[in-house]
Amino acid sequence: MLITVYAIAQTAAYALPFILLQTTVMWRIRLIRTRIDRTFLISWLTFAWLFVIMCFAGVALNILLAVSFLMIAVLTYAHFRCLSLVKAELARSDKLRTISALAAGVSHEVRNPITVTRGFISLLKQPDLSDDKKNVYTALALEELDRAKQIITDYLAFARPSPQQLEALHLEEELSYVKQVLQPLASLNQIELTVRIEDALLWGDRVQLRQAFINLLKNAIEAVQPYGKVEAHSTVRGNQVCIVIQDNGAGMAPEDVQRIGEPFFTTKEGGTGLGMMVVFAVVKSFRGTVDLQSEPGRGSRFTVTLPLHKREDL
């Protein structure tokens, strides 16, 4: 746009003197033809000087326009440069705030099981404590330490993901592996776990993909009561595949659905919320999306959409 305006202005600056000269000459000829007194006519020398002056005016106008457009270009570049620096600084500030919130949350979440464990260990020092109570306190202390370990593991999985090893993945094979891992947990809780997957070829990290679906299915299993159902199935639609994980558990309120994926937000007793953060991060690395639909008393439905593998991904 600026180049077009500059070209028009430059053309006008060069053409203006010639237009004025032609107009003046035609005016002189017209005056001569109408036999007006020659004292009112401008001499040819005056015409020549007028032409020279207008040429200089055109050149000056051209220089002024060039300087003006150069200043506009410099100011525009400076504006966008400052804008990009501000955006980068805002992104850095947001990242630092997120890290600070995560660090504060981790310290808080880890402190609780450590405090409980310290209390149980103090109780174990009582000389008249029965063996049964010792076993109970020891089991509870170990359980709390395992919870602290899980919090740290989930945090590290989100904050420091392992280097990606990209390869072609068969969705049916990966989800079959996830089912084998979680089938004992489902059987222990008397949950019917069904996985029906239409095979599709994906491109990404095998370990991260498995971890994401383990987190999703594990959450679904833990969300339903005994004799409940958890089902996973997939559908290929064009150049993407949709994996649906559905349960008939308690469901979630609309305000809880909006907060899924936030640091340390969870509706599960003893949960940390970091598992869903890992899910969202992994799906994003696959250039996919996660959608959640849930109603209280009617269960939850996660839909993970992933792009199919293309040869240019190699």
- Consecutive 10-residue averages of pLDDT for the chain (314 residues): 52 54 53 48 57 69 76 81 78 68 67 78 83 84 80 68 77 91 86 91 89 89 89 92 92 83 66 76 90 89 91 50
pLDDT of residue 243: 95
User: Is-contact 41 31, C-beta < 8 A?
Assistant: yes
Residue 36 pLDDT? 45
- Identify whether residues 120 and 61 lie together within a single domain: yes
Instruction: Name the phi and psi angles at 271, rounded to 5.
Output: -85, 165
Do the beta carbons of residue 228 and residue 239 sit within 8 Å?
no
- Whether residue 216 contacts residue 230, with contact meaning beta carbons closer than 8 Å, is answered with no
Provide the number of structural domains found in the chain: 2
Residues 17 and 87 reside in one and the same domain: yes
Distance CA 124, CA 118 (A): 10
Domain of 174, CATH number, reads: 3.30.565.10
Question: Could you give the C-alpha distances from 141 to 114, 117, 121, 133, 148, in angstroms and in order?
Answer: 9, 5, 7, 12, 11
The pLDDT assigned to 162 comes to 57
Shared domain for 153 and 291, answered yes or no, is no
Per-residue model confidence (pLDDT) at position 314: 47
Query: In the chain, what percentage of residues exceed pLDDT 90?
Result: 18
Domain end (from 160, 188, 214): 160
The pLDDT of residue 38 is: 47
Residue that terminates a domain, selected from 145, 160, 175 = 160
The residue from 160, 191, 213 where one domain ends is 160
CATH number at residue 52: 1.10.287.130
Q: What pLDDT is attached to residue 173?
A: 93
Q: Is the pTM of this model over 0.85?
A: no
**Together in a domain, 105 and 188:** no
Angle in degrees, CA 77, 80, 86, rounded to 5: 140
Residue range of the domain that includes 304: 166-313
